[in-house]
Structure 1
Amino acid sequence: MNKYLLAAHSEFFEELFFGENAQPKPKIQIENVTDAVPHFERLIATMYPQNKELDAECVEGILELADRFLLDSVKNRCVQFLAKSSAKSAVFKLRVAEKYNLDAFKKHILENLTTDDFFGGSKYFDDFTELNKLGSELAKEFSERHKELFGIKNRN
């Protein structure tokens, strides 16, 4: 991998390779990331124009690394994939949008929720798990959208 290419895509790598405290052969520790090595390899491949396609299994891991290493172009590709190509549930997408501070994507998901998103069918248990991972503010927004879609009035 070309360090100039990495530096061109990321402030993190620019500082690592060319910053004040740059070392000739820096080592990068990737902790607390499941399957870090394959996800990092996929992350790098995603940066190239003739890149590998994203898939539902890798997108969150790649997004996590892109966020950590300040690779906005890769983050944007992940968001585009989630928005247009992923069969992941809206609740999953909301959680990911919240976790990685993708506010515009989060707003888009909330605005485009439909009644079908609240009856997950085969994804019900996955959605239930994802709902429990939402922050309290986002869970409240999700609940408000549910009430709006189903015509439920707030009790005063």
Structure 2
Amino acid sequence: MASGAIEYKSGTLQVSNYTNLLETKTNSGITCIWSGKFMRVNSYQIDFKWKFDWNELKKQGVDELTGHITVSLTNDRFTAKTINVKITEDNQEITKEVWGIYYSYNVYYEYSLTPHYALISEKPGYDKMFAPSDQNDTILVVDKKKLHVNKSFLSYHSEYFRKLFSSDYKQGDAKPPKRQRKQVPDNKEVQTQEFPIKDVSFKDFALLLSTFYPNPVFPTDATVEKLLELARRFVISSVINIIEYHLLNNSRINSEKTLWMADEYVMPKLLEKCIRGLNTVEKAKKLDQSPEYEKLSDSAKAKALDRLIKLF
């Protein structure tokens, strides 16, 4: 699954017979070392190289970057060159040979790279996590699969489950609970309730619970939107708080979508950061032209406008 593109534009630097390393720059978890030099004295062939260190993104679940690099002149001495890239290894090197007619050029480059996250397997340890145990006293049935859970733990985290497990539960989201008999060590039978949960896949629901269950699975850019949707449905504020922390500190999702999520799912710290980030006319135009802008609440639009008025 892909996230928003990471973009960067370098400053203008001179490349000649005497240059090699031109720039080292870190941007949104990607460190790029850019070098350029003429292949040999009295030759018009320039050898450009970009080495990408993106280990920080790998730690967040990214398994490849795709996009393009463009190298340009500040005048028309050679046509801008664009290289389509697919980066799958850390410290992978991209090269491009360019021919000109002079021995020195003022050049700059820019890239647009989209992180792609590894697909999440359907059951990453869920069998063990939701297996029968002395601590689990209730069964949730999702997609005909049974998740053994602790009623008190879920009730503590979620008003939805607190109501579901109450004796006077009457909402239509689940059928009346069934009871399943099980043996305990003293050979006495006890009854374990089963609660069907509708309109959600096992994979998504198990991922939601595992986000705040013991030994939690941390959210990634690939999972945050689905988790936010389910956290709101099942009224689990702790999951929204966990995701807000991720979006504040680790996410590479573009600012327009992040602003929309902050507004839609009521994450005040994230909303404040996004509004502060609207500090140029270009960013304001990009937000206005994005599909997320129309989905913003009137309150968020007013905050964005107020920020721009104060800035300019």
Normalised-by-shorter TM-score class: 0.7 to 0.9
Q: Kindly state the Cα deviation for residue 78 of structure 1 after the two structures are TM-superposed.
A: 0.7
SS at match of 2:207: helix
Q: How many residues were matched structurally? A: 142
Offset of 1:105 from its aligned partner?
Answer: 3.1
Shift of 1:117: 7.7
How far 1:26 moved relative to its partner? Answer: 2.2
Residue of structure 2 in register with 1:20 after alignment: 168
1:76 pairs with 2:260:
no
Matches within 5 A, 1:133-144: 133-144=295-306
User: Taking structure 1 as the reference length, what is the TM-score of the superposition?
Assistant: 0.74
- After TM superposition, the structure 1 = structure 2 runs for residues 1-156 of structure 1, keeping only pairs within 5 Å, are 1-4=148-151, 5-21=153-169, 23=177, 24-30=193-199, 36-115=201-280, 118=283, 128-149=290-311, 151=312
Q: Structure 1, residues 71-122: CA drift from partner, whole Å, max 9, x if none?
A: 12111101101111111122212211221223343234323444398179xx
Q: What code does the residue aligned with 1:38 have?
A: K
Question: Could you tell me whether the CA contact under 8 Å between 1:47 and 1:73 is conserved in 2?
Answer: yes
Task: Find the counterpart in structure 2 of residue 154 from structure 1.
Answer: none
How far does residue 17 in structure 1 lie from its aligned partner after superposition? Answer: 1.7
Calculate percent identity across the aligned residue pairs.
25
Displacement of 1:45 in angstroms is 1.1
Report the CA distance shift for 1:8/1:37 in structure 2 as closer, same or farther (over 3 A): same
Q: 1:3 to 1:20 in 2, by over 3 A?
A: farther
Distance in 2 separating the partners of 1:48 and 1:26: 18
RMSD between aligned residues: 2.7
Q: Which has the higher strand share?
A: 2
Structure showing greater relative contact order (alpha-carbon pairs closer than 8 Å, 6 or more residues apart)? 1
In 2: Cα distance, 1:2 partner to 1:92 partner = 34
Q: Which amino acid aligns with 1:70?
A: V
Q: 1:38 to 1:148 in 2, by over 3 A?
A: farther
Is residue 221–residue 253 contact of structure 2 (8 Å, CA) maintained in 1?
A: yes
Distance 1:62 1:90 in 2: 19
Aligned 8 A contact 1:12 1:69 in 2: yes
The answer to whether the 8 A contact 1:89-1:117 is kept is no
Say which one has the larger Rg. Answer: 2
TM-score (norm 2): 0.40
CA contact (8 A) 2:256 2:293 kept: yes
| DSSP-derived class of the 1:26 partner | strand
Residue identity in the other structure for 1:68 = R
SS at 1:132's partner residue? helix
* 1:3–1:17 Cα contact (<8 Å) kept: no
Secondary structure in 2 matching 1:18: coil
Segment drifting more, 7-16 vs 19-28? 19-28
- Aligned residue identity for 2:303: E
Amino acid at match of 1:28: I
Taking a change above 3 Å as real, the CA distance of residues 137 and 72 of structure 1, as seen in their structure-2 partners, is closer
2:225 counterpart SS class: helix
For structure 1, the 5+ residue unaligned runs are: 152-156
